[in-house]
Amino acid sequence: MDVALDDPERDPRVLHVRGVVLPDDETRDLWLVGDRVTLTPQPDATTIADGGFILPGLVDAHCHIGIKHGGGHVESLDEARELALVDRSAGVLALRDAGSPYPYEVLDDDPDVPRLARAGRHVAPVRRYLRGLGVEVEAPDVAATITSQAKAGNGWVKMVGDWIDRGVGDLANAWDPATMADAVAAAHAAGARITAHCFAEESVAVLVDAGIDCLEHGTGLSLDVIAKMAAQGTALVPTMINIETFDGIAASAEDKFPGYASHMRRLQAGFPAVVAAAVDAGVPVYVGTDAGGGIVHGMVVTEMEMLHQRAGMPILDVLAAGSWGARSWLGFPGLVEGGLADLIVYPEDPRRSLAALRNPSRVVLKGAVVR
Ligand SMILES: [Zn+2]
């Protein structure tokens, strides 16, 4: 069959791998021609792996390569690129950037950088979000700002659903419910999917009613809202690594905002059960670390282990949530005819233990061997 090389200058070889392509259980052959997968045998292919277990790479569905460690935006494209390569070294071959204060759209075409699904900047309420990250707007400007940030991304837009309201002394919605619903409609009108940072109980109910595509964190989810998410297909990216930091947030807020502090502790304590309930209800749950700012990059396998060990998500579901399922959700076809030429080979079966994901023997991104 005729498969065109995307960039014959870069890697003229045709690659061949053989192994158990998960989630199926049989040994199969795949050929990589340029940036495409084919199941049709290719002459003169170089075999780079024979044996082992093959995944289309891991996905970090919530991270920030435009935010530097400790907070604030990165200062250069090189800095954003470096962070993406840290994720790649952990096996991440596709990522969703859930809000970037630094524009780096040229990295979409960088052969060394994982596939990127990007939001623009966070759309946040005024003086009620991490300083310097979001576009901070009052209610009348929310919809128009969502529209412009949808255009700044490549398919996603990110809003802040709730944050501490210092006047109230607790988490509160970012804006009134009608404005939040209008934000969802504005994103959809712009052809983007929209997700929201949500810790509390109220914001998730409003946004799920409004038809939001995904929720980040979701500590405040009730069984009723979870049932609605499952019915609508609304995704959840729990970022269990992030929720582990709530007790630290609570401790530093204790003196001034004791109500907020105790609320954050309650949310943290109840969270593994929330994720378990979402999994049980059939909510599409995906793996995201929330790297950037306070959390280091490259923790994707740790997040997968937490979903399994703390929230009881079955291993095969965790693998889907952090690999083929997440890729399909983000629009990056996997190891099928005509799919994208990204794959990782593991000597040990990750269905037996997720720890196998820490020891790949071969990594191919965009048709080129990176390990
Ligand atoms: Zn985040």
Q: What is the pLDDT of residues 73-93, one digit of tens each?
A: 999 999 999 999 999 999 999
The phi, psi pair for 92, rounded to 5°, reads -80, 115
Mean pLDDT to the nearest integer, 8-34? 87
- Reported confidence tier of residue 2, pLDDT bands at 50, 70, 90: very low
User: DSSP string of 36-51?
Assistant: EEESS--TTEEEEEEE
Task: Please tell me the distance between residue 306's alpha carbon and the centre of ligand 1 in angstroms.
Answer: 18
Q: Strand pairing partners for 118?
A: 97
Task: Please tell me the distance between residue 335's alpha carbon and the centre of ligand 1 in angstroms.
Answer: 29
Distance CA 82, CA 40 (A): 36
Q: What is the pLDDT of residues 254-274, one digit of tens each?
A: 999 999 999 999 999 999 999
Q: What is the pLDDT of residues 156-199, one digit of tens each?
A: 999 999 999 999 999 999 999 999 999 999 999 999 999 999 99
Task: Please tell me the distance between residue 4's alpha carbon and the centre of ligand 1 in angstroms.
Answer: 38
Task: Please tell me the distance between residue 295's alpha carbon and the centre of ligand 1 in angstroms.
Answer: 9
Task: Please tell me the distance between residue 351's alpha carbon and the centre of ligand 1 in angstroms.
Answer: 28
Task: Please tell me the distance between residue 309's alpha carbon and the centre of ligand 1 in angstroms.
Answer: 22
Question: What pLDDT does residue 12 have?
Answer: 58
Task: Please tell me the distance between residue 276's alpha carbon and the centre of ligand 1 in angstroms.
Answer: 21
Q: Which two tokens stand for residue 279?
A: 């999994």
Task: Please tell me the distance between residue 195's alpha carbon and the centre of ligand 1 in angstroms.
Answer: 11
- Reported confidence tier of residue 8, pLDDT bands at 50, 70, 90: very low
Question: What pLDDT does residue 64 have?
Answer: 98
pLDDT of residue 126 exceeding 80, the answer is yes
Distance CA 161, CA 176 (A): 10
Task: Please tell me the distance between residue 258's alpha carbon and the centre of ligand 1 in angstroms.
Answer: 24
CB 31 within 8 A of CB 15: yes
Nearest of 38, 24, 48 to residue 344 by alpha carbon: 48
Question: What pLDDT does residue 94 have?
Answer: 98
Mean pLDDT to the nearest integer, 324-336? 97
Helix residue ranges, H only, the chain? 77-89, 142-152, 177-189, 201-209, 223-232, 240-243, 246-253, 258-281, 300-309, 315-321, 324-330
Q: Which two tokens stand for residue 345?
A: 């080979």
Q: What is the mean pLDDT of the chain?
A: 96
Task: Please tell me the distance between residue 285's alpha carbon and the centre of ligand 1 in angstroms.
Answer: 16
Task: Please tell me the distance between residue 117's alpha carbon and the centre of ligand 1 in angstroms.
Answer: 14
How many Cβ atoms are within 10 Å of 229's Cβ, its own excluded?
Answer: 25
CB 113 within 8 A of CB 93: no
Task: Please tell me the distance between residue 154's alpha carbon and the centre of ligand 1 in angstroms.
Answer: 17
| pTM, two decimal places | 0.96
Task: Please tell me the distance between residue 98's alpha carbon and the centre of ligand 1 in angstroms.
Answer: 6
- Percentage of residues in the chain with pLDDT exceeding 90? 95
How many Cβ atoms are within 10 Å of 179's Cβ, its own excluded?
Answer: 19
Task: Please tell me the distance between residue 63's alpha carbon and the centre of ligand 1 in angstroms.
Answer: 6
Half-sphere exposure of 234 (CA within 13 A, CB side): 28
Task: Please tell me the distance between residue 245's alpha carbon and the centre of ligand 1 in angstroms.
Answer: 13
Q: What is the pLDDT of residues 33-70, one digit of tens each?
A: 999 999 999 999 999 999 999 999 999 999 999 999 98
Task: Please tell me the distance between residue 40's alpha carbon and the centre of ligand 1 in angstroms.
Answer: 41
Question: What pLDDT does residue 255 have?
Answer: 98
CB 330 within 8 A of CB 117: yes
CB 199 within 8 A of CB 267: yes
pLDDT of residue 3 exceeding 70, the answer is no
Mean pLDDT to the nearest integer, 1-11? 44
pLDDT of residue 9 exceeding 80, the answer is no
pLDDT of residue 101 exceeding 90, the answer is yes
Q: What is the pLDDT of residues 290-322, one digit of tens each?
A: 999 899 999 999 999 999 999 999 999 999 999
Task: Please tell me the distance between residue 54's alpha carbon and the centre of ligand 1 in angstroms.
Answer: 29
Task: Please tell me the distance between residue 339's alpha carbon and the centre of ligand 1 in angstroms.
Answer: 29
Task: Please tell me the distance between residue 355's alpha carbon and the centre of ligand 1 in angstroms.
Answer: 25
C-alpha distances in Å from residue 181, one per residue of 68, 117, 223, 253 = 31, 23, 21, 30
Task: Please tell me the distance between residue 46's alpha carbon and the centre of ligand 1 in angstroms.
Answer: 40
Question: What pLDDT does residue 80 have?
Answer: 98
Question: What pLDDT does residue 138 have?
Answer: 98
Distance CA 275, CA 279 (A): 6
